């Protein structure tokens, strides 16, 4: 009989903290969790996932750039995954993969429950239109933001995401090069991967921020540094990386697989204590 296994798939994936997080959750609740990181390029993802299932894989998290591919291969989808058009959590049920997305719930829980912020009524800018952006967009709308502007360097992707959200009065796309003419935003979410691998500085016009702007990067660690540096230079009031979201979405996945939700605070505190990225809130 195969040992029950869990894993996170991505490309690259060596940097992932997910194995450490899920192992910590398991220790907390007395559950023996066998969780690994598996590097799979997009063209090899389906084969790698099936091999994992054959070796006892019961559940998998999916990160960049595989979230839309995970959506496409899911035999069954939750409503929030269907709205997002992206999947970050797969569960093996009767020989088939069931897809869900916990990213949006994780982001909103981190910002509201952990940091005590109110998202309602904010005008929001979502930078990026790939799997990461798709994963959080519906949850931001559900959290009560007043308007969601999606902008991506490939405008067709932004158009597709805005259309998929199905709320033309609240969610629409705008050109990246036109951001300086769109006024101010009280929430800016970076869902791009432009800064991964140290690809230079992050540059946006400061005119899009206000004295109460909340700036969030869905990346964590070194990949988040350029955007966070820009946000601080723009005098954004609250600046956060994606570490809290990572822990919260992991807890949502853990609960789906094991039937109980772990306490995220001690795990977050431990990881934050080892993180070189500063997070500020005035």
The domain tally of the chain equals: 2
Rounded Cα distance between 154 and 160, Å, is 11
Mean pLDDT value of segment 161-190: 96
88 is in an annotated binding site: yes
Same domain, yes or no: 80 and 123: no
pLDDT of residue 248: 98
Same domain, yes or no: 130 and 213: yes
Mean pLDDT value of segment 121-148: 97
Same domain, yes or no: 166 and 232: yes
213 is in an annotated binding site: no
Same domain, yes or no: 233 and 136: yes
Question: Which band of pLDDT confidence, cut at 50, 70 and 90, is reported for residue 108?
Answer: very high
Nearest to 179 by CA among 236, 122, 126: 126
Does residue 50 lie in a domain region? yes
Residue 145 has pLDDT above 90, yes or no: yes
Q: What are phi and psi of 14, to 5 degrees?
A: -60, -25
Which CATH number do you get for residue 133? 3.40.50.720
Does residue 171 lie in a domain region? yes
Same domain, yes or no: 50 and 168: no
130 is in an annotated binding site: yes
Is residue 12 within 8 Å of 40, Cβ to Cβ? Answer: no
pLDDT of residue 2: 47
pLDDT of residue 93: 97
147 is in an annotated binding site: no
Same domain, yes or no: 223 and 255: no
Query: Hey, what are 9's tokens?
Result: 């798939």
pLDDT of residue 184: 98
Same domain, yes or no: 159 and 216: yes
Helix (H, G, I), strand (E, B) or coil at 200: coil
Same domain, yes or no: 85 and 203: no
Rounded Cα distance between 6 and 275, Å, is 25
Mean pLDDT value of segment 132-155: 97
Mean pLDDT value of segment 69-73: 97
Same domain, yes or no: 251 and 236: no
Residue 89 has pLDDT above 90, yes or no: yes
Percent of the chain with pLDDT strictly greater than 70: 93
Rounded Cα distance between 275 and 282, Å, is 20
- Which alpha helices (DSSP H) does the chain contain, by range? 18-29, 45-54, 67-73, 79-84, 103-109, 131-142, 155-165, 225-233, 243-258, 264-273
Question: Residue 266 is part of which domain span?
Answer: 5-101+244-276
Cα end-to-end span (Å), the chain: 54
Residue 75 has pLDDT above 80, yes or no: yes
Does residue 192 lie in a domain region? yes
Same domain, yes or no: 124 and 220: yes
pLDDT of residue 3: 64
Kindly list the catalytic residues: 67
192 is in an annotated binding site: no
The three-state (H, E, C) secondary structure of 11-50, written as one string: CCCCCCCHHHHHHHHHHHHCCCCCEEEEECCHHHHHHHHH
Q: Which residue has the higher pLDDT, 150 or 15?
A: 150
Same domain, yes or no: 115 and 214: yes
18 is in an annotated binding site: yes
Same domain, yes or no: 235 and 128: yes
Does residue 56 lie in a domain region? yes
Nearest to 249 by CA among 114, 59, 104: 104
Does residue 165 lie in a domain region? yes
Does residue 282 lie in a domain region? no
Mean pLDDT value of segment 69-76: 97
Does residue 281 lie in a domain region? no
Rounded Cα distance between 249 and 127, Å, is 20
Which CATH number do you get for residue 47? 3.40.50.10860
pLDDT in tens, 182-230: 999 999 999 998 655 445 578 899 999 999 999 999 999 999 999 999 9
Rounded Cα distance between 241 and 257, Å, is 26
Does residue 135 lie in a domain region? yes
pLDDT of residue 274: 75
């Amino acid at each position: 009989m195969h040992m029950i296994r869990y894993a996170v798939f991505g490309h690259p994936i060596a940097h992932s903290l997910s194995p450490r997080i899920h192992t910590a959750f398991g220790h907390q609740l007395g559950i023996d969790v066998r969780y690994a990181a598996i590097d799979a390029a997009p063209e090899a993802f389906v084969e790698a996932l099936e091999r994992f299932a054959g070796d006892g894989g019961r559940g998998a998290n999916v990160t960049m750039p595989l979230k839309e591919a995970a959506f496409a291969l899911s035999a069954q989808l939750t409503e929030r995954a269907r709205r997002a058009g992206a999947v970050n959590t797969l569960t093996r049920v009767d020989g088939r993969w069931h897809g869900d997305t916990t990213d949006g719930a994780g982001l909103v829980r981190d910002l509201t429950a952990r940091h005590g912020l109110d998202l309602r009524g904010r005008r929001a800018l979502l930078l990026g239109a790939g799997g990461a952006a798709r994963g959080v967009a519906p949850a931001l709308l559900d959290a009560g933001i007043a308007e969601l502007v999606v902008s991506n360097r490939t405008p067709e992707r932004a158009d597709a995401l805005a259309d998929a959200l199905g709320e033309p009065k609240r969610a629409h796309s705008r050109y990246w090069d036109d951001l300086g003419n769109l006024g101010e935003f009280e929430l800016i979410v970076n869902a791009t991967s432009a800064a991964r691998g140290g690809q230079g500085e992050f540059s946006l016009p400061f005119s899009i921020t206000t004295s109460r702007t909340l700036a969030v990067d869905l990346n964590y660690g070194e990949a988040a540094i350029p955007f966070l540096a820009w946000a601080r230079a723009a005098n954004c009031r609250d600046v956060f990386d994606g570490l809290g979201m990572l822990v919260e979405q992991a807890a949502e996945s853990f609960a789906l697989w094991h039937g109980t939700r772990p306490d995220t605070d001690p795990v977050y505190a431990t990881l934050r204590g080892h993180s070189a990225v500063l997070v500020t809130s005035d």
